[in-house]
Amino acid sequence: MRKNKNKWHMILFIFLLAIIFLAPNKAFAESINSQNQTFIEFFSKDDITVMYRRYKGKYQYRRWNKTKNKWVDSHWITIG
């Protein structure tokens, strides 16, 4: 039972890492030409980094907002 639980924790951990690397670009621009005028709209969102650690034999994660330089989560969240 213990090996099976560790297997699922590792699968979840790898899945979360894949989501981080496949996330869309944090900013993009769109140009609109109308009546000889050019409007450029910038869309940006907060740049969030997920930090992982192993604490007392359990995997944990916590999100850091690089844009605001503060933690998104108030505490570490245990996976599984």
pLDDT tens digits for range 37-58: 555 555 567 888 999 999 999 9
Average pLDDT over residues 2-15: 79
As a whole number of angstroms, the distance between CA 71 and CA 37 comes to 41
pTM of the model: 0.45
Answer for the pair 73, 60: CB distance below 8 angstroms, yes or no: no
As given in the structure block, the two tokens for residue 64 are: 């850091």
Answer for the pair 31, 39: CB distance below 8 angstroms, yes or no: yes
Average pLDDT over residues 71-79: 92
User: Hey, how many other C-beta atoms are within 10 angstroms of the C-beta on 59?
Assistant: 19
Nearest Cα neighbor of 32 from 23, 42, 22, 17 is 42
